[in-house]
Amino acid sequence: MLGFSSDMVSLKLSTRALRDIDNKLCRTPLTPGDRLQLQQIKRDHPAALFKPGEASQAYNCHGLTFASRRTAITNTLHLDHILLDDDYQEVPLAAVLPGDVVIYRTPLQDGGVEHSGVVVQKPAGQGGLIGVPLVLSKWGKAHEAIHYANYCPYSSYKITYFRVTK
């Protein structure tokens, strides 16, 4: 494949401040066990809209969100570097717009990032209530999915939204 001899390579990826971001581009095919897990995820989340075609493990949710689907960002501590160095600012739910980034943090003590995605539809509420935005994200080795921000296999413990400001 165009000069790549390994099933696992890294791309040169950095923040705007030139801080390196760890990543892995996995070229190995999905195993039969992976395929069974993907089918189960789809059964468990029938209201999600999954991208048709073959699933890929070349990138993960963070690679979709911050690296244009080119690679998997593997060190979640680097996501905070991206948010800081690339001038993302937190946005309140009521102000969320398509193109904003959604971050799911774990309830664990470190509050690490578990999942990320891109908002594709702003929250629509009724009667003065704020709704939940639609998000495009990638669920592990599974397909990309369009889903409500609080409807996915990841913790809804702390969901925050960010927008690039510069």
At 92 the pLDDT is: 95
What are the pLDDT tens digits along the chain (166 aa)? 344 445 678 999 999 999 999 999 988 889 999 999 999 999 999 999 999 988 889 999 999 999 999 999 989 899 999 999 999 999 999 999 999 999 999 877 666 899 999 999 998 876 666 789 999 999 988 889 999 999 999 888 899 999 999 8
Closest CA to 141 of 48, 23, 28: 28
pTM for this prediction: 0.89
Number of structural domains found in the chain: 1
Distance CA 92, CA 20 (A): 29
At 3 the pLDDT is: 43
At 22 the pLDDT is: 94
Would 1 be classed as within a structural domain?
A: no
Q: What domain range includes position 105?
A: 8-164
Would 3 be classed as within a structural domain?
A: no
Would 2 be classed as within a structural domain?
A: no
Cα within 13 Å of Cα(86), Cβ side: 21
